[in-house]
């Protein structure tokens, strides 16, 4: 049995050494094809017009001007209170472009306003009463100088005035 392992070891070493030869591999010959004579027909190509699209991309910002931030216009809030008072009062002064906000802070009673004249009706949507529900404000922006008369409704009638100045 010892001889068997010795023979096996010698064969193994021989196989290893046989693979480590320094002889170059013999190149395999590739057959060269023989040319076959063929007849080629030639035709005149037709011209097909081509369209060319040129795209120019410029990554340059021209002298960008900063976007001006609009100046917030002042607003005044007129509040209908549950004790049937109005704060700060029914007559207010605002500049042109200013906003008047009417708020109903009385959850138990409806409150509203109504234009007294045609000039005021333009801002209040006509001569009808505008009901102001609880928690929903009515906002009106006045863009022209003048006096705009209105009256309160659904409570003791009180006349008010929005005075718009330059």
Question: Is 146 a residue whose pLDDT tops 80?
Answer: yes
Q: Locate the domains of the chain by residue range.
A: 75-165
131-141 burial string, b = 16+ CB within 10 Å, else e?
A: ebeeeeebebe
Q: For the residues 18-35, what does the mean pLDDT come to?
A: 63
Cβ-Cβ contacts under 8 Å for 137 (sequence gap 6 or more): 77, 101, 102, 103
pLDDT band at 29 (very low <50, low <70, confident <90, very high): low
Q: Which two tokens stand for residue 103?
A: 């708020």
Question: Which uninterrupted H or E stretch holds 150?
Answer: strand 146-153
Q: What is the CATH number of domain 75-165?
A: 2.60.40.420
Is the whole-model pTM more than 0.85? no
- Measured torsion, CA atoms of residues 31, 34, 40, 45, in degrees rounded to the nearest 10: 30
pLDDT for 155: 73
User: Pick from 142, 136, 111, 108: which is nearest to 124 by CA?
Assistant: 142
């Amino acid at each position: 049995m010892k001889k068997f392992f010795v023979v096996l070891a010698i064969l193994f070493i021989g196989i290893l050494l046989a693979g480590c030869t320094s002889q170059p591999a013999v190149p395999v010959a590739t057959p060269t094809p023989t040319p076959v004579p063929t007849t080629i027909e030639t035709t005149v190509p037709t011209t097909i017009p081509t369209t060319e699209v040129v795209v120019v991309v410029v990554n340059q910002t021209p002298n960008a001007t900063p976007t001006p931030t609009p100046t917030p216009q002042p607003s005044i809030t007129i509040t209908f209170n549950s004790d049937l008072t109005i704060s700060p009062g029914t007559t207010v002064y605002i500049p042109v472009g200013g906003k008047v906000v009417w708020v109903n802070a009385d959850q138990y009673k409806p409150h509203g306003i109504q234009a007294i004249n045609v000039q005021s009706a333009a801002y209040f949507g006509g001569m009808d009463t505008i009901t102001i529900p609880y928690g929903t404000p009515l906002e009106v922006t006045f863009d022209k100088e003048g006096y705009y008369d209105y009256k309160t409704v659904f409570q003791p009638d009180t006349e008010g005035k929005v005075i718009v100045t330059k």
